[in-house]
């Protein structure tokens, strides 16, 4: 007993080791016996063969040879570089053979270049360039509401119903169409247009200057006959006649202008009345900035014709404004304010205008960030429906808005009473 007490742990470990060895021997015997088990021993019912065995090394399965002889591609690529036939994974625009006896599919480029069907050998009509189906599908707008069908389906709108363009799905105050135009999420109330996106450029309006070229008198210089320094340039500034020479300056609307050049020109004698002046001269002027003429903003004045400022007047509309006639008209350097959602005010400054691209560059006075405002051909009718449901009115044609031209309005004449 004393021996067992002293070696109790060793005896237990020996017994466990013996049991483990016996279990391992039993497991090996089971594995060895399983190898000798046959299908008959399991007594499974034999199933019919579902598929015939295929030998893919046969010529019928040689894809490279098949495609090469079928004349499907005009030029085949080198499959040895890739290790596989890449043509099988490259989509291409195709069409069917126009011959009813064939009607097989062939690549568009084959029909366009070969004009012969590679399957039946019959002639094909030139299909011209393949249409861009992706672009066509992307622009498809069945209901004509300004939102493509693909976009409406993605957002859960009805592509056959145009009224959903003026609706506000997320209740942030902006219509679905407007959020599509400014690329915000119409289904997320926290994703709404920034204040810069609420401004639309209606048009760029020419701004007349209170100055007019009255005439040019070429006075020759005896010392230098080609010199123009003695020429007399007659200009009306704020209805005041001034006599200038080349290099002379005058002030209009707190901006000084310098005369750069003068071109003496007369009109066609046959088209000019005896009473009217025949002077068709031109004078080139430029604004003076820091004592130097800014020739990037040169202006050409013609005798008796209107003179427009180099920078146009930007006519801007806030889409949140319910009255479509209410616009903001500012020139370069001028500032304006619009209200924020919490009735605060945010200021913007007109930096530059581009009449060719029909755009205006604005500066956010708070963030000091510049952004470009381009003219859109279409301003949404109800861009801002309002959180309370009151939206902006229908946008009129900018050309029909009052005060949009430079001509003064004429009063309608009343019929005389006899």
- Mean pLDDT across the stretch 291-315? 88
- Asked whether 384 and 179 are in contact (CB, 8 A), the reply is no
- Mean pLDDT across the stretch 177-181? 88
- Mean pLDDT across the stretch 61-87? 55
pLDDT at 310 over 70: yes
Task: Determine phi and psi for 281, rounding to 5 degrees.
Answer: -70, 165
| Cα–Cα distance measured from residue 314 to residue 359, given in angstroms and rounded to the nearest whole number | 9
- Mean pLDDT across the stretch 133-153? 82
**Mean pLDDT score across all residues of the chain:** 80
- Mean pLDDT across the stretch 21-29? 91
User: Which residue ranges make up each domain of the chain?
Assistant: 2-33, 195-206+311-400, 211-302
pLDDT at 72 over 60: no
| Residue 122 token pair | 């019959």
| Cα–Cα distance measured from residue 389 to residue 10, given in angstroms and rounded to the nearest whole number | 89
Report the chain's C-alpha Rg in angstroms. 42
In tens, the pLDDT along 91-108 reads 678 889 999 899 899 988
DSSP-H helix ranges across 145-217: 149-155, 176-181
The pLDDT of residue 130: 73
The pLDDT of residue 370: 92
In tens, the pLDDT along 365-376 reads 999 999 998 887
- Predicted TM-score (pTM) of this structure: 0.48
Q: Is 354 helix (H, G, I), strand (E, B) or coil?
A: strand
Residue 255: how many other CB atoms lie within 10 Å: 13
The pLDDT of residue 216: 92
| Cα–Cα distance measured from residue 339 to residue 334, given in angstroms and rounded to the nearest whole number | 17
The pLDDT of residue 85: 54
- Mean pLDDT across the stretch 345-359? 87
Secondary structure of the chain: what % helix, strand, coil (to 5)?
Answer: 25, 25, 50
Among 57-66, 246-255, 338-347, which range has the highest average pLDDT?
246-255
| Cα–Cα distance measured from residue 88 to residue 98, given in angstroms and rounded to the nearest whole number | 24
Residue 387: how many other CB atoms lie within 10 Å: 13
pLDDT exceeding 90 applies to what percent of the chain? Answer: 28
In tens, the pLDDT along 241-275 reads 999 999 999 999 888 999 999 999 886 554 444 44
Which residue reads 């123009």 in tokens?
Answer: 228
The pLDDT of residue 65: 64
Distances (CA, A) of 259 to 231, 244, 284, 290: 12, 8, 6, 16
């Amino acid at each position: 007993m004393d021996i067992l007490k002293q070696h109790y742990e060793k005896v237990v470990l020996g017994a466990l080791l013996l049991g483990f060895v016996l279990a391992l021997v039993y497991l090996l015997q089971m594995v060895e016996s399983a190898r000798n088990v046959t299908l008959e021993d399991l007594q499974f019912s034999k199933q019919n063969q579902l598929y015939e065995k295929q030998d893919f090394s046969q010529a019928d399965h040689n894809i490279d040879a098949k495609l090469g002889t079928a004349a499907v591609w005009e030029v085949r690529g080198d499959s040895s570089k890739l290790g596989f036939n890449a043509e099988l994974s490259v989509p291409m625009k195709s069409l069917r053979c126009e011959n009813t006896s064939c009607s097989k599919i062939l690549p568009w480029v084959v029909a366009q270049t070969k004009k012969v069907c590679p399957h039946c050998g019959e002639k094909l009509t030139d299909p011209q360039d393949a249409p861009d189906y992706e672009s066509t599908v992307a622009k498809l707008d069945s209901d004509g509401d300004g939102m493509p069908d693909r976009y409406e389906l993605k957002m859960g709108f009805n592509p056959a119903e145009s009224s959903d363009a003026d609706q506000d799905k997320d209740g942030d105050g902006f219509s679905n169409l407007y959020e599509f135009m400014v690329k915000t999420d119409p289904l997320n109330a926290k994703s709404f247009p920034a204040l810069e996106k609420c401004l639309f450029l209606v048009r760029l309006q020419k701004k007349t200057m209170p100055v007019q070229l009255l005439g040019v008198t070429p006075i020759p210089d005896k010392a230098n006959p080609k010199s123009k320094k003695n020429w007399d340039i007659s200009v009306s500034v704020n209805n005041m006649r001034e006599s200038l020479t080349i290099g002379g300056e005058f002030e209009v609307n707190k901006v000084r202008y310098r005369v750069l050049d003068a071109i003496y020109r007369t009109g066609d004698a046959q088209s000019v009345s005896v009473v009217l002046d025949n002077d068709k001269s031109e004078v080139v002027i430029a604004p003076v900035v820091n004592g130097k003429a800014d020739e990037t903003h040169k202006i050409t004045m013609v005798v008796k014709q209107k003179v427009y400022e180099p920078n146009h007047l930007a006519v801007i509309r806030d889409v949140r404004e319910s009255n479509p006639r209410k616009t903001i008209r500012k020139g370069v350097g001028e500032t304006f304010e619009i209200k924020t959602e919490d009735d605060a005010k945010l200021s913007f400054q007109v930096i530059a205008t581009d009449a060719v691209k029909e755009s205006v560059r604005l500066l956010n006075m708070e963030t000091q960030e510049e952004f470009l405002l381009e003219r859109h051909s279409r301003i949404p009718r109800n861009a801002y429906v309002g959180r309370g449901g009151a939206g902006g009115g229908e946008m009129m044609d900018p050309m029909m808005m009052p005060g949009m031209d430079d001509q003064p309005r004429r009063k309608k004449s009343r019929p005389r009473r006899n």
